Amino acid sequence: MAAAEDLSGKPQPVSAERTPKPKSSGWLARIAPGVRNLVARRADTPENLWVKDPDTGDMIYRPDLEAALWVTPAGRHMRIGTELRFRYTFDGGQFEAIKPPAVVDDPLGFVDQKPYTERLAASRKANGSQDAVAIGYGRIRDIPAVVFVQDFAFMGGSLGMAAGEGFICAAETAVKRGAPLVAFTAAGGARMQEGALSLMQMARTTLAIQDLKRARLPYIVVLTDPTTGGVTASYAMLGDVHLAEPGALIGFAGPRVIEQTIRETLPPGFQRSEYLLEKGMVDRVVPRPELPETLSQILGVLMMGRELQRGRLQTA
């Protein structure tokens, strides 16, 4: 900065103030406010108005995708959370939420790249739920049912103490209310941060299914993408009837692990719903829009058998 001298001979800084520029009065200045307003309105437009099709790469208008129950034009059944699953399953989207029992957050004090408590906090903030499972009670085409749902978005839908307690709570609620249990599974396996405590849930949930069988209540499993690991090795494969959404990955170990182990190329569609239907592991592959009606038909037949059995016991 240049300096000037006062009467004492000491240098003084020159003021940095500049002469203000005259305001422009041209045509660009006159339309500038309108342009700014237009840009501001566009900024209010949701960023997720368009969703990319994972198969074709095409952009899908979000309201159209929502109207199609998150099934893309190519037939991909995109993963959905517990709220949408309940809304699509129960009559009119109406149901009673059953709160799963609370469990200890971090029984082992587990730390990998970050503490387990931090991972839980981040997932809870992102998903707005306490853990990967939710329970609802309502009617499916006028048939009362308890529905258990896993959300893959919450730490891969992993099976930990909270999910185990949630499944047991759902089974107990079904027995108490004399209603069938429907489980929508979606999981990457057991939750490693809970160690052996997560593996124990495989045995505990199996015992809960035995309580359903003793009560002569149907247990239907709907396998969604993906259902793998300890969930597949326990309650996901112990249903009276196994349905699956189209294209769902279903198995214990993933295809890549299997290929690396046996050193062979797997057949096309290996571990997908249609492949497992062909091999007899799945009873039926059902598109998402048809699930409520299909569940209603199956539950109606199975519950009719239970009512007939009850009638025989009462008249004996």
Name residues whose C-beta falls within 8 Å of residue 226's C-beta, 6 or more positions apart in sequence.
Answer: 152, 186, 187, 188, 248, 249, 250
Domain 79-315 has CATH 3.90.226.10: yes
* Residue pair 101/158 in contact by the 8 Å Cβ criterion: no
At 48 the pLDDT is 84
At 23 the pLDDT is 54
First to last CA, the chain: 108
pTM: 0.83
User: What's the rounded Cα separation, in Å, for the pair 314 and 310?
Assistant: 6
At 5 the pLDDT is 46
Name residues whose C-beta falls within 8 Å of residue 157's C-beta, 6 or more positions apart in sequence.
Answer: 132, 150, 151, 163, 185, 186, 187, 188, 231
Confidence category of residue 2, pLDDT binned at 50, 70, 90: very low
Helix (H) or strand (E) holding 13: strand 11-13
Q: Could you tell me where in the chain the CATH 3.90.226.10 domains are found?
A: 79-315
User: Which tokens belong to 129?
Assistant: 């739920």
The total number of residues written for the chain in this structure = 316
At 14 the pLDDT is 47
Which three-class secondary structure state does DSSP give residue 176?
A: helix
242-260: buried (b, 16+ CB within 10 Å) or exposed (e) per residue? bbbbbbbbbbbebeeeeee
> Which is higher by pLDDT, 312 or 262?
262
Q: Tell me the one-letter amino acid at 195.
A: G
Tokens 């495989």 locate to 202
pLDDT (tens digit, 9 = 90+) per residue, 101-137? 999 999 999 999 999 999 999 999 999 999 999 999 9
pLDDT (tens digit, 9 = 90+) per residue, 199-241? 999 999 999 999 999 999 999 999 999 999 999 999 999 999 9
Report in angstroms the alpha-carbon separations of 72 from 58, 62, 63, 77, 152. 10, 10, 12, 7, 19
| 191, pLDDT greater than 60 | yes
- Lowest average pLDDT, out of 164-173, 206-215, 304-313, goes to 304-313
State percent of the chain over pLDDT 70: 81
Instruction: Give 98's Cβ-side CA count (13 Å radius).
Output: 26
At 8 the pLDDT is 47
User: What's the rounded Cα separation, in Å, for the pair 21 and 29?
Assistant: 14
Confidence category of residue 304, pLDDT binned at 50, 70, 90: confident
| 92, pLDDT greater than 90 | yes
At 213 the pLDDT is 96
Partners of 143 in the beta sheet? 140
| 86, pLDDT greater than 50 | yes
| 44, pLDDT greater than 80 | no
Report the pLDDT averaged over residues 4-25. 50
Q: Are strands 3-5 and 11-13 parallel, antiparallel or unpaired?
A: antiparallel
- Lowest average pLDDT, out of 44-48, 65-69, 229-233, 261-265, goes to 44-48
Q: What integer best gives the mean pLDDT of the chain? A: 88
Q: How many CB atoms lie within 10 A of CB 168?
A: 21
| 316, pLDDT greater than 70 | no
At 259 the pLDDT is 92
Handedness of CA 46, 49, 54, 57 (dihedral sign): negative
